[in-house]
Structure 1
Amino acid sequence: MPHTAEDKQRAITRLRRIRGQAEALERAVEAGSDCAPILQQLAAMRGAVHGLMADLLDSHVRETLAQQPSPQAVEEMRALLRSYLK
């Protein structure tokens, strides 16, 4: 969860952009568009999702580990990073 109002607004903006990309992709598939533009749109969506994930991870690291990190917080962060890097 974003921890500041600015981070929250940035995440919402990114999510709306991703939703718009997904809707455009759905319309393209329904219309039977050529594969190349669909693959390009899919790659753009993947980049947008990765960007959002990176921003949220950054915010989470700053808020969770900037204070006195506990072993539990460190282990949670390791699990999140493993999941993200798969």
Structure 2
Amino acid sequence: MSVSAYAQRNHAIVKISDNGEGIPTSVQQKLGQPFYTTKEKGTGLGLMVCYNIIEQHKGKIHFVTEEGEGTTFTIEIPLENKTNGSYF
């Protein structure tokens, strides 16, 4: 697993990558939905909470995955406060 963070065009960018199994196509559209889980003891709330927090900060989250190769999630959050133009 690797994690990187940097600033780009007034956004904080965080990339989280693994070299696991990847996310099957049948699961990809369901990610972030409440109570959807592939784990035996999961609640299906973790990724949904992440999506909501990022959205509340006017950010975006997306992923690139390839079965058998791994997955990279990218989170983009604006650094500029639109109300007063200052940076956080």
TM-score with structure 1 setting the length: 0.31
Higher radius of gyration, 1 or 2:
1
Q: Which has the higher strand share?
A: 2
